[in-house]
């Protein structure tokens, strides 16, 4: 069956696009990907989503987004798109060997935590290395952990981890944080948090069986390396857009963020739209993602109207 | 939760997991873990699909911290596959269903 709309991604952008296209009777099919609900599902309290004055838990908010979209007929599948072909309409999307086609595609695949690229980092991911303090902090009760990064998410992770860990060492390559002042103040005032300035993580030592036992830290001022004992390493060095599937077909900037036309969600291909963090490296908020998801739905609806007259 | 999914605790761990006649998939999870909620329905589906071939259990790490520590779980969801009393494979994080079934199929046919 050739669909009117396929939406790839299920964070605030994808599910808002699903809500709007469902209400426009376009019967959207949503591929939720490997992290249904997106990045908010690995946070705790969301305090800045309007309409929830007391705050709301990230996973709960995303359940509400999904419920609202499915109420109007959006079909959400916990499936991960593995290949696309946008060379001509109808556009093709594969989930392993199953092929789906649609007249329009809305890309809302968001962004993922960036990794340093160390071999030990990927080997020990889930075995002491983590990109999600709220998921894994619990396993580091009374242990010493390292947080790598200097932005708001690094501060947030470090502060959150003090609920469990005995000591949190923030490793940052510069001599000041780029995080907002309020977050830096909260972090530096916390007695459990220490900072290694001008320092980079050179290696992580441990095994999958026994976990992490230490890290190698390099001082960028004098290039000296030292070993620091710790039980866990949390990466918070920023995000990369999830655009591997689309780089051939779509214009993107050097970091991989998809280009959209000013004031719209249109990409360089007619009928392919992009919304949320996958095309936004500036605002990156749930509410801006939701807003652009709504734009993508309206853009897709208009495109289909013009197509069918 | 599917009827085919057992709640695993330190009390029944030995009989249900270590001494099971079939391979066992144990989902280490917690209420507060978003990705665990995402993968929960998939684990339920697998329990129904593999009924009789693989037993499926859920282990709440908040209640069974000792077992989580014993098996070196440092990130959830963690899906550990046991066969003849030992861990033969494990998956960390919410992954698509076919990643899990591929592993189960290999374990069953071995």
Give the CATH number for residue A172: 3.50.50.60
Domain shared by A300 and A273, yes or no: yes
Containing domain of residue B19, as a range? 5-109
> How much is the ipTM here?
0.76
Looking at A235, A268, A286, the residue that finishes a domain is A235
> pLDDT at residue A272 above 80?
yes
- Catalytic member of B5, B26, B33, B61: B33
Do residue B72 and residue A209 have CB atoms under 8 angstroms apart? yes
- A206 and B CB contact within 8 Å: no
| A83 confidence band (pLDDT: 50, 70, 90) | very high
Domain shared by A108 and A210, yes or no: no
Domain shared by A104 and A253, yes or no: yes
B97 interaction partners in chain A (CB closer than 8 Å): 78
A40 interaction partners in chain B (CB closer than 8 Å): 34
Mean of the per-residue pLDDT values of chain A: 94
Domain shared by A141 and A154, yes or no: yes
Looking at A186, A206, A235, the residue that finishes a domain is A235
The whole-angstrom distance between residue A1's C-alpha and the CA centroid of its chain comes to 31
Do residue B35 and residue A138 have CB atoms under 8 angstroms apart? no
The number of C-beta contacts closer than 8 angstroms across A and B is: 73
> pLDDT at residue A287 above 80?
yes
Mean of the pLDDT values across residues A271-297? Answer: 95
> pLDDT at residue B1 above 80?
no
Domain shared by A22 and A86, yes or no: yes
Reduce the DSSP state of residue A203 to 3 states and report it.
strand
Do residue B92 and residue A138 have CB atoms under 8 angstroms apart? no
Contact A27, A125 (CB under 8 A): no
| Angle, CA B14 vertex, CA B13 and CA B15 arms, to 5° | 95
Domain shared by A108 and A25, yes or no: yes
Mean of the pLDDT values across residues A83-89? Answer: 95
| A155 confidence band (pLDDT: 50, 70, 90) | very high
Of A43-47, A192-196, A287-291, B104-108, the poorest mean pLDDT is in A43-47
> pLDDT at residue A231 above 90?
yes
Domain shared by A81 and A130, yes or no: no
Of B32, B73, B98, the CB nearest to A139: B73
Of A254, A238, A265, residue with least CA distance to A111: A238
What φ, ψ does residue A126 adopt, rounded to 5°? 90, -5
Cα distance from B25 to chain A (closest Cα, Å)? 18
Cα distance from A16 to chain B (closest Cα, Å)? 18
Give the pair of three-digit tokens for residue A227.
């070993």
Do residue A59 and residue B37 have CB atoms under 8 angstroms apart? yes
Q: pLDDT tens, A121-130?
A: 989 988 999 9
User: Cα separation of A215 and A228, whole Å?
Assistant: 5
Query: Which residue on chain A is closest to B29 by alpha carbon?
Result: A135
Domain shared by A122 and A100, yes or no: no
> pLDDT at residue A140 above 90?
yes
> pLDDT at residue A150 above 80?
yes
Q: pLDDT tens, A169-186?
A: 999 999 999 999 999 999
> pLDDT at residue A306 above 90?
yes
Helical H segments across chain B, by residue range? 13, 34-49, 65-70, 97-109
- A10 and B CB contact within 8 Å: no
Per-residue model confidence (pLDDT) at position A282: 85
Mean of the pLDDT values across residues B72-91? Answer: 94
Per-residue model confidence (pLDDT) at position A73: 97
Pairing of strands A232-235, A129-130: parallel
Per-residue model confidence (pLDDT) at position A42: 76
* DSSP H/E element including A77: strand A75-77
A269 or A59, which is more confident: A269
Mean of the per-residue pLDDT values of chain B: 92
User: Look-up: residue for tokens 């709640």?
Assistant: B7
Query: In this prediction, what percent of chain A has a pLDDT beyond 90?
Result: 82
Task: Give the best residue of A125, A139, A232 to mutate against chain B (max B CB count within 10 A).
Answer: A139
Q: How many domains does chain B have?
A: 1
Q: How many domains does chain A have?
A: 2
| A277 confidence band (pLDDT: 50, 70, 90) | very high
Query: Which residue on chain B is closest to A31 by alpha carbon?
Result: B96
Of A20-24, A44-48, A230-234, A302-306, the poorest mean pLDDT is in A44-48
Mean of the pLDDT values across residues B86-110? Answer: 90
Give the pair of three-digit tokens for residue A57.
């838990």
Query: What CATH number is given to the structural domain containing B63?
Result: 3.40.30.10
In the annotation, is B15 catalytic?
no
Looking at A235, A260, A293, the residue that finishes a domain is A235
* DSSP H/E element including A171: strand A167-171
Domain shared by A35 and A49, yes or no: yes
Domain shared by A199 and A269, yes or no: no
In the annotation, is B2 catalytic?
no
A32 interaction partners in chain B (CB closer than 8 Å): 38
Mean of the pLDDT values across residues A44-73? Answer: 91
Per-residue model confidence (pLDDT) at position B97: 83
Per-residue model confidence (pLDDT) at position B51: 94
Do residue B76 and residue A134 have CB atoms under 8 angstroms apart? no
Cα distance from B66 to chain A (closest Cα, Å)? 11
Domain shared by A230 and A251, yes or no: no
- A130 and B CB contact within 8 Å: yes
Q: pLDDT tens, B19-62?
A: 999 999 999 999 888 788 878 888 999 999 999 999 999 999 99
Q: Per the omega criterion (within 30 degrees of 0), is the bond before A177 cis? A: no
- A260 and B CB contact within 8 Å: no
Containing domain of residue A152, as a range? 115-235
Of A41, A80, A126, the CB nearest to B34: A41
B97 or A244, which is more confident: A244
Domain shared by A52 and A141, yes or no: no
Do residue B94 and residue A34 have CB atoms under 8 angstroms apart? yes
């Amino acid at each position: 069956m050739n669909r009117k709309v396929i939406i790839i991604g299920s964070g605030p952008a994808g599910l808002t696009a699903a809500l709007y296209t469902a209400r426009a009777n376009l019967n959207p099919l949503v591929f939720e990907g490997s992290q249904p609900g997106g990045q908010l599902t690995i946070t705790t309290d969301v305090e800045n989503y309007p309409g929830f004055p007391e705050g709301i838990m990230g996973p709960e908010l995303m359940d509400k987004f999904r419920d609202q979209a499915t109420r109007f007929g959006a079909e959400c599948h916990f499936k991960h798109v593995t290949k696309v072909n946008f060379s001509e309409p109808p556009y093709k999307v594969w989930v392993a060997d199953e092929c789906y086609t649609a007249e329009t595609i809305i890309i809302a695949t968001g962004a993922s935590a960036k990794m340093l690229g160390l071999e030990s980092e990927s080997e020990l991911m889930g075995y002491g290395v983590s990109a999600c303090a709220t998921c894994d902090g619990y396993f580091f009760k009374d242990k010493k952990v390292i947080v790598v990064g200097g932005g708001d998410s690094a501060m947030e992770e470090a502060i959150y981890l003090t609920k469990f860990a005995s000591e949190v060492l923030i490793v940052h390559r510069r001599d000041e944080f780029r995080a907002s002042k309020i977050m830096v103040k909260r972090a530096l005032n916390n007695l459990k948090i220490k900072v290694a300035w001008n320092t980079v993580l050179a290696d992580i030592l441990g095994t999958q069986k026994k976990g992490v036992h230490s890290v190698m830290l390099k001082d960028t001022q004098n290039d000296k390396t030292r070993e620091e004992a710790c039980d866990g390493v949390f990466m918070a060095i920023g995000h990369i857009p999830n655009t591997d599937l689309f780089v051939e077909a779509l214009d993107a900037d050097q970091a991989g963020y998809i280009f959209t036309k000013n004031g719209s969600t249109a990409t360089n291909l007619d009928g392919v739209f992009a919304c949320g963090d996958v095309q936004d490296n500036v605002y990156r908020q749930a509410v801006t993602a939701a807003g652009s998801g709504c734009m993508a739905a309206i853009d897709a609806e208009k495109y289909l109207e013009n197509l069918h007259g | 939760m599917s009827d085919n999914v057992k709640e695993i605790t330190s009390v029944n761990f030995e009989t249900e997991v270590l001494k099971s006649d079939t391979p066992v998939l144990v989902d280490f999870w917690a209420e507060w873990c978003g990705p665990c909620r995402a993968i929960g329905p998939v684990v339920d589906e697998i329990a129904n699909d593999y009924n009789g071939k693989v037993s499926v259990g859920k282990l709440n790490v908040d209640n069974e911290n000792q077992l989580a520590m014993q098996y070196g779980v440092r990130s959830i969801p963690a899906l550990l596959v046991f066969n003849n009393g030992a861990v033969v494979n494990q998956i960390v994080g919410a992954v698509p269903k076919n990643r899990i079934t591929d592993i189960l199929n290999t374990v069953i046919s071995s």
